[in-house]
Amino acid sequence: MATYNYEIQVPAIADALNTWNQPQKRDKTDDWAGTAHALGRHLLREWHDSAPDGVKELAAEVEVRSDEGVYVQVVTSAPVSEGIAGLEEAVENMQVANLAYEVAREELNQAMIDAYTFDEDLSKNAIAELVSEVVSRPTALKVLSGNPNATPARGRSSKAPKPAPDFAALRRDVALLAESVQAVLKALPAATTDDVTRPPSERDD
């Protein structure tokens, strides 16, 4: 069973005493087997049954939360239908799932960052591929690029920069290639050279 923390507020009293941050009752329970919504209704019934005259007639509200991510506000102790109770339970289950997802996502992000920071054999692309079943590639790369620990300057050995192009060597290679082409063309028979230079429509079959 989850541990629920709750606060009971009576807005009219809070307005009069200017004590919005001072709930009429604040406590926790770890022996409630139902939903947080049902607990809220139970607490409001108890409050109205035990409150002194002049207070029990006032509208009260209760906030219930759990460490698993549940948070609800209940303003009435009236019972609800089975359908509404089912919706309330589904909402709370979704809240728990959302918190669990956020925690797992943070753990995964940190694991990706740690892997990139401390394992020099893993590139960003490799990590993105490893987590592709649960995280899209753009998102994984964004996580790795957006964190200061995920840069080569923070613990990773930087790759050596590429050397600048040797333009003089490139020019020499181009000149040699041009000479080779000219030599081949000169060695071809004249008729063959004419066929090469004539448009296709003028060539002999």
- Hey, CA dihedral for 38, 40, 41, 46, is it positive or negative? positive
What's the structural domain count of the chain?
Answer: 3
Q: Are residues 18 and 63 in the same domain?
A: yes
Tell me the C-alpha distance between 66 and 98, whole Å: 13
Q: Are residues 141 and 183 in the same domain?
A: no
Tell me the C-alpha distance between 203 and 101, whole Å: 73
Look up the domain containing 58 and give its range. 4-79
Does residue 23 or residue 82 have the better pLDDT?
A: 82
User: Which pTM value belongs to this model?
Assistant: 0.64
Q: Answer whether residue 150 shows pLDDT above 50.
A: no
Query: What tokens does 105 get?
Result: 């996502």
Q: Across residues 107-117, what is the average pLDDT? A: 95
Q: Are residues 9 and 57 in the same domain?
A: yes
Q: Are residues 8 and 70 in the same domain?
A: yes
Task: Give domain status of residue 204, yes or no.
Answer: no
Q: What is the pLDDT of residues 40-77, one digit of tens each?
A: 999 999 988 888 777 777 888 999 999 999 999 999 99
Neighbours of 88 (CB within 10 A): 20
Query: What tokens does 112 get?
Result: 């990706």
How high is the pLDDT of residue 205? 53
Tell me the C-alpha distance between 80 and 41, whole Å: 10
Does residue 127 or residue 168 have the better pLDDT?
A: 127
